[in-house]
Amino acid sequence: MAALLTPELMSCVGKSMPPVTEKVSRRDIRHYSIATDQQLEKYLRGDEAPPMFYQRFFEEIATLDRLQDDGHVDDPLVPELPLKRVMAGGCETVFHRPIRPGENLTATRTVVEMYERQGRTGPLIFVVIELKIAGEDGKPVVVERYTRIAR
């Protein structure tokens, strides 16, 4: 199998997006909780964010003209790969503590690994991205590593 990951593509390992800091509001938590049909009062009151609240909290709202055919927005962190069909490849999340209203959180996304494998139907490229969310004290709140697979 010829190597698909060129030195130029591999140079993206270690690349990070600029940190994004957002203040969590009780209203943000309540809106998310209602939209996702949460049942626990602590979420509905906005006292604590449900576990998956963090996933889209730091993203800019994409306009329709930026959406691809599959509904996703191009990720500027991931370089253009020679294989175009992208799939989710798994996710590991560690919750260090709950997210509470009134706190400023900072999120940083980094490409931590890229590798290729031969699948049953052809070559695959794996891109592993780490999302670190920290509190004002710099201590981790959530750390997520997720994999994108291109084929």
Q: Which residues have C-beta within 8 Å of that of residue 31, sequence separation ≥ 6?
A: none
1 lies in some domain: no
Reported as a single tens digit per residue, the pLDDT across 94-117 is 999 999 999 999 999 999 999 999
Tokens of 96: 């260090």
Task: Please answer whether residues 53 and 107 qualify as being in contact, where contact means their C-beta atoms are separated by less than 8 angstroms.
Answer: no
Q: Phi and psi (nearest 5°) for 84?
A: -100, -20
Q: Phi and psi (nearest 5°) for 99?
A: -90, 130
120 lies in some domain: yes
Reported as a single tens digit per residue, the pLDDT across 69-88 is 767 777 888 888 999 888 88
pTM equals: 0.88
pLDDT, the chain, mean: 92
d(CA 123, CA 4): 8
d(CA 149, CA 151): 7
**Which residues form the domain of 67?**
7-150
- The structural domain count of the chain equals 1
92 lies in some domain: yes
* Residue 138 Cα to chain centre, angstroms: 19
2 lies in some domain: no
CATH code at position 15? 3.10.129.10
